[in-house]
Amino acid sequence: MRQAALPARGPAVSIGPLPANGGFRLPFPMQIRVLGCSGSIAAGSRTTSFLVDGEILIDAGTGVGDLTLDELACIDHIFVTHSHLDHVLAIGLLADSVTRRRRAAGRPPVRVYALASTLTALRLHVFNGIIWPDFTRLPDTTNPVLRFEAVEVGQVLVAGGRRVEVLPARHTVPAVGYAVHGSSGAWVFTGDTGPNPPLWERLKSMPVAALVIETAFGDDEVALARVSGHLSPGQLREELKGLAAPADVYITHIKPGEVDAVMSEIGAHDSPHRIQALASGQVMDLGA
DSSP 204: T
Q: In what order do the strands lie in the sheet with 146-151?
A: 146-151, 110-115, 77-79, 56-58, 49-52, 30-36, 283-286
Read off the pLDDT of residues 196-205 as tens digits, 9 standing for 90 and up.
999 999 999 9
Residue range 28-286, CATH number: 3.60.15.10
Q: What pLDDT is recorded for position 260?
A: 97
DSSP H or E run through 223:
helix 222-227
Residue ranges in the chain modelled with pLDDT below 70: 1-27, 288
Q: By C-alpha distance, which of 24, 22, 23, 26 is closest to 288?
A: 26
Q: Can you give the pLDDT at residue 213?
A: 98
One-letter amino acid for residue 177 of the chain? G
pLDDT at 27: 52
What pLDDT sits at residue 2? Answer: 33
CB atoms within 10 A of CB 29: 13
Taking CA 125 as the corner, what is the angle to CA 123 and CA 129, rounded to the nearest 5 degrees?
Answer: 75
Residue 135 to residue 123: CA distance in whole angstroms = 10
pLDDT of residue 287: 75
Torsion, Cα of 15, 159, 150, 105 (10° steps):
-130
